[in-house]
Amino acid sequence: MLDPKRLRTELDEVAKQLARRGFKLDVDAVRALEGQRKALQTHTEELQNQRNLRSKSIGQAKARGEDIAPLMAEVSSLGDQLKTAEQDLVKIQTDLETIALGLPNILDASVPDGADENQNVEVRRWGEPKQFDFEPKQHFELGANQDWMDFESASKLTGARFVVLRAAMARLHRALTQFMLDTHTQQHGYTELYVPYMVNADSLRGTGQLPKFEEDLFKLNNEQGYYLIPTSEVPVTNLVRDTIVDAANLPLKFTSHTPCFRSEAGSHGKDTRGLIRQHQFEKVEMVQITRPDQSWQALEEMVGNAEAILQKLGLPYRVITLCSGDTGFSAAKTYDLEVWLPGQQKYREISSCSNTLDFQARRMVARFRNPETGKTELLHTLNGSGVAVGRALVAVVENYQEADGRIRVPEVLRNYMGGAAYLA
């Protein structure tokens, strides 16, 4: 959520900033509502003040043993007036809140302008795409061997966009997860978390998935209306919701491995084959909760942490800055890591690292006490994939394939694979 004070005092500037994303803010409507709100609030508070004063004097008169009937008569008409005023105020505040919750974050000045993913800007590359002396296959072709990746069974069990992994492929998937978690906890200073895979609506509102993007989520039919998490960013970041974090404990650095569930509404026909776009996939996530003056530095660190995973796996990749039109709702700036897929002859997203500044923190009311001022201030929150496990599996399989269809195991994973050099 944007600073409501800023929304009041710099509305035109906010609208101009949001326009960078292609978001149209109805300035006149907001201004009109805001004017009404102010008048109504002043009016309501005046009535509340009257009620409080008179009630107090009734109490005092009663304590002195005086007759309170005249005082009671005086206050009788106030109740209805106040009730009406309060209801009107609540309604208009709700309207304003609904608008505010639907506004995306303001982009950092360093984010390049652009309409869509075609205008994203490459920052750097690591590694050279490997030259094969044969036609490299796509992962689902390689996965057909020994039924390692079984999409047909998954479609029988559930439906489209699911997979059953078998034998060495299932183990490779698990090995990747373990390797990533161990790297982040042992080398990058993150604390591992195990978290719920279902969350309530408050949590999703906190990180920005609700109220705007409900159609992307799987909602459970239970009484509480829980949702399956679309990313562990939601439960992990919401740990600090409604809390005041001790400044001495900052930054908080968490990593968590969870399944992620996404409806993929609106992506019909995209990546229909293979593991790239599934309703259920696994991800090792990194989350940092920092002081405001340290979040940009933390973003660079986090991208580096994700890069370290790809480097250790020997997977060529590039880092890009998402342009204004492609940056997500909550983010002020996002770096994507795109890994080279020889089967597709393309770089494909495998990690996304974002600084949301105080956007999520304001929604969550997540604060720390600044030792310098003694005051509570909003924290900054960051999240990044470190990295998507399913896509990492795709990348390993395609990059480590050999002419005879065998798949070599990257050195760093062999300890997790019982020492095997090849999938078997």
Partner RNA sequence: GGAGAGCUGGCUGAGCGGUCGAAAGCGGCGGUCUUGAAAACCGUUGAAGGAAAACCUUCCGGGGGUUCGAAUCCCUCGCUCUCCGCCA
Contacts with RNA by CB under 7 A lie at 4-5, 8, 42, 45-46, 48-49, 51-56, 58-60, 62-63, 72, 75-76, 78-79, 223-224, 244, 374-376
* Six token digits for residue 223: 């009484």
Q: Compute the least distance from the CB of residue 300 to RNA, in Å.
A: 29
Q: Considering the candidates 54, 277, 369, 414, report the single residue annotated as catalytic.
A: 277
262 classed as catalytic: yes
Q: Compute the least distance from the CB of residue 75 to RNA, in Å.
A: 4
Using the structure block, give the residue that is written with the tokens 């609106």.
266
Helix ranges (H only) for 228-384 are 233-237, 295-312, 359-364
| Residue with Cβ nearer RNA (226 or 254) | 226
Helix axes 27-63, 11-19, angle to 10 degrees: 140
Q: Compute the least distance from the CB of residue 59 to RNA, in Å.
A: 3
| Residue with Cβ nearer RNA (365 or 412) | 365
- Cis bond before residue 387 (omega within 30° of 0): yes
Q: Compute the least distance from the CB of residue 45 to RNA, in Å.
A: 4
Q: Considering the candidates 262, 348, 363, 367, report the single residue annotated as catalytic.
A: 262
Q: Considering the candidates 352, 362, 367, 385, report the single residue annotated as catalytic.
A: 352
| Residue with Cβ nearer RNA (40 or 236) | 40
Total residue length of the chain: 424
Cβ–Cβ under 8 Å, residues 105 and 329: yes
352 classed as catalytic: yes
| Residue with Cβ nearer RNA (93 or 146) | 93
Taking the C-alpha atoms of residue 70 and residue 63, their distance in angstroms, rounded to an integer, is: 15
| Residue with Cβ nearer RNA (51 or 406) | 51
Taking the C-alpha atoms of residue 390 and residue 140, their distance in angstroms, rounded to an integer, is: 12
277 classed as catalytic: yes
Cβ–Cβ under 8 Å, residues 235 and 205: no
37 classed as catalytic: no
> Which of 365, 394, 393 has its CA nearest to residue 381?
365
Sign of torsion over alpha carbons 240, 241, 243, 247: positive
Q: Compute the least distance from the CB of residue 38 to RNA, in Å.
A: 7
Q: Considering the candidates 171, 256, 391, 398, report the single residue annotated as catalytic.
A: 391
How do 367-369 and 244-245 pair as beta strands?
parallel
| Residue with Cβ nearer RNA (94 or 415) | 94
Q: Compute the least distance from the CB of residue 376 to RNA, in Å.
A: 5
Q: Considering the candidates 349, 377, 406, 414, report the single residue annotated as catalytic.
A: 349
Q: Compute the least distance from the CB of residue 39 to RNA, in Å.
A: 11
Cβ–Cβ under 8 Å, residues 375 and 369: yes
Contacts by 414-422 with C-beta closer than 8 Å and gap 24+? Answer: 416/174, 416/175, 416/178, 416/179, 417/168, 417/171, 417/172, 417/175, 420/168
| Residue with Cβ nearer RNA (374 or 419) | 374
* Six token digits for residue 242: 């409604």
363 classed as catalytic: no
Write out the catalytic residue numbers: 262, 277, 349, 352, 391
